[in-house]
Copies of this chain bind each other. A is one copy, B any other.
Amino acid sequence: MPVGLSEPSSIAPVAGVRLASVAAGIKKNGQDDLVVFAFDEGACVAATFTQNAFCAAPVTLAKNHLSQSSPRALLINSGNANAGTGDAGMKNAEQTCQWLAEALGCDDSQVLPFSTGVIGEQLPMDAMYSGIEKIVPQLAQDNWLAAAQGIKTTDIVAKGASRSIMLDGTEVTISGISKGSGMIRPDMATMLAFIATDARVEQSFLQQCLSEAVTQSFNAITVDGDTSTNDACVLAATGAAGNPELNAASAEASAFADAVASLCRQLAQAIVRDGEGATKFVTVDIEQAASLDEARQVAYTIAHSPLVKTALFASDPNWGRILAAVGRAGVENLDISRVNLYLGDVCIVRGGGVAEDYREEKGQAVMDREEILIRVELGRGDSSAQIWTTDLSHEYVRINAEYRT
C-alpha cells in the first residue's frame, strides 16, 4: 500500500481549463484510460520530456507540435505507451491528434499527445476513435479527480494537488495531477504530470519555473532506476485569472515559482509513496559533497542499491550496505575518515567507523518507521542533494514479473 498517501479529496478547478476522463477500452480491466485537457485560447504551455533515446512516438510528436503552435489540448491515454511501435506508431499518434483537433475545432498541431502503459503494442485505434468521440461532450472544469484516475497504470492511488496564491492582488490557482509507480527514474522529466494555472504568465518564465521545479522534484525521485520512454511534464497557464502578466522580473515571480516547485515536489513524492511494492518512503540526503553532481551520484548509488533497498524493506539497520554503496559511488579520492552516516537523527558512522555511542536498537527504531531519512556527510565541500526513493519488496518483483500476464 502507498506510504503515507491517500487519494486527494479534491483538486481545485482552474479557470480556462476543461477536462474529462472516460473508459475507451484500451485497458483490459474496463477502467478509465482516456483523458483530455482543453485550454481556452491564449493559454501558454511549458513542458519537459524524457531524455531516453528510445522515446515514444507521442513524445516525439508532442515536442514537434509544441515547437509549432500554442497548444489547445492534451490527449492522454493510459494502458498503451505507443513506444517501440515504429512508423505505424507515429502515424497512429498523428491520427489521434487529428481526430481530437476536428472535434475541438483547432489545428492538429495544437494537440499534444501522451501515452503510458505497455511498450511495443500498437494503439487500439477503434477504441481511441470512439473514446475521443465520447469524451469531448463531457469536458468540464471540475473533472480533475476523474482525470487523475484516468491516467493511472500500476498506480494504486490517484495523485493530485492544488495551490492558491495571490499575484498582484489577484488570487490564482495551480492544480496538477501525476501518475507513475514503476520504471521511475525520471531524467529531465517525470512519468506523466499535468499542471495548470489560471495565472497569466510569460512563456519563457513559465518554462523556467517548470524546469527548475522539475529538477528538484520529478528529477529527484527514483523507484527502480529505470527511465521511462514516455516521461513528460506539462505546465499550462491560461491567464483566465486576469492578473497582470507575470515574468521573471515581477515582484511575485519567486512566490509563483515556489508554489509550482512545492506542487511538483508533492506530486513527485506521491509517485514514490505509491512506488511499485513500496513499504517505505525514503529520503536520501547527501551533504558536504564537492559538487552537486557528486552529491546526486552518491545519492542515486544508495537509492538504487538492491541490497540497501532490501534492507529497508526488512527494516534492517544494515548500515554496512549503505557504506558499501557510498564506497562504490565513484567519488575520486574519497577520504573515508571524513564520512559520517546518519539514520534519521541517529549518528551511526562517524569519521568512517562506527560511532562509539551507536547501539543497534537506535538504528532499529529509525528503520521501523515508514518514513526514513538516510543522511551522509562526505566532508568534501558544501554541495548537497536530496532525493526520494522506496524499498525493494516481494511485491515489486511480483508486479513486474506479472505485468503483461
Interface: A297 (CB within 8 A): no
Quick check: A397 and B394 within 8 Å, CB to CB?
yes
Question: Which of B54, B85, B318, B324 interacts with A229 by CB under 8 Å?
Answer: B324
Interface: A68 (CB within 8 A): no
Q: Which residues of B lie under 8 Å from residue A307 when comparing CB positions?
A: 182-183, 224, 226, 400
Question: Which of B52, B87, B225, B314 interacts with A402 by CB under 8 Å?
Answer: B314
A151 to B212, CA, bound (A): 51
User: Which of the candidate stretches A94-102, A192-200, A249-257, A326-334 sits at the interface with the other chain?
Assistant: A326-334
Given contacts A394-B394, A394-B397, A401-B310, contact A85 B324 (CB under 8 A): no
Interface: A354 (CB within 8 A): yes
Given contacts A53-B328, A328-B53, A394-B398, contact A353 B320 (CB under 8 A): no
Question: Which of B306, B314, B331 interacts with A396 by CB under 8 Å?
Answer: B306
Q: Which residues of B lie under 8 Å from residue A55 when comparing CB positions?
A: 327
A399 to chain B, nearest CB (A): 8
Interface: A392 (CB within 8 A): yes
Quick check: A52 and B328 within 8 Å, CB to CB?
yes
Given contacts A226-B321, A229-B327, A327-B55, contact A313 B354 (CB under 8 A): no
Interface: A33 (CB within 8 A): no
A residues contacting the other copy or chain, number (CB 8 A): 62
Interface: A175 (CB within 8 A): no
Quick check: B353 and A323 within 8 Å, CB to CB?
no
Of A226, A324, A396, which is in contact with the most chain B CB atoms at under 10 Å from its CB? A324
Question: Which of B81, B352, B354 interacts with A320 by CB under 8 Å?
Answer: B81
Quick check: B229 and A306 within 8 Å, CB to CB?
no
Of A81, A119, A226, A318, which is in contact with the most chain B CB atoms at under 10 Å from its CB? A226
Which residue of chain B has its CB nearest to the CB of A319? B120
Question: Which of B305, B314, B323, B401 interacts with A313 by CB under 8 Å?
Answer: B401
A224 to B53, CA, bound (A): 24
Q: Which residues of B lie under 8 Å from residue A321 when comparing CB positions?
A: 119, 183, 226
Interface: A72 (CB within 8 A): no
A227 to B326, CA, bound (A): 10
- Copies of this subunit: 2
Chain A residues numbered 292-312 whose CB sits less than 8 Å from any CB in chain B: 304-307, 310-311
A189-230 contact mask (Cβ, 8 Å, vs B): 1 or 0: 000000000000000000000000000000000001111110
Interface: A260 (CB within 8 A): no
Given contacts A86-B353, A183-B307, A353-B85, contact A54 B327 (CB under 8 A): yes
Knowing that A54-B336, A224-B305 are A-B contacts, what are 7 other residue pairs whose CB atoms are under 8 Å apart, sorted by A's residue number? A52-B328, A54-B323, A54-B326, A84-B354, A119-B320, A120-B320, A185-B328
Could you list 9 A-B pairs, sorted by A, with CB under 8 Å? Answer: A52-B328, A83-B324, A119-B324, A182-B307, A225-B305, A228-B324, A311-B401, A313-B397, A392-B397
The 3 A-B residue pairs with the shortest CB-CB distance in the complex, in nearest-first order: A119-B320, A86-B353, A54-B327
Q: Which residues of A contact B (CB under 8 A)?
A: 51-55, 81, 83-87, 118-120, 182-183, 185, 187, 224-229, 304-307, 310-311, 313-314, 316, 318-321, 323-328, 331, 334, 336, 349, 352-354, 392-394, 396-398, 400-405
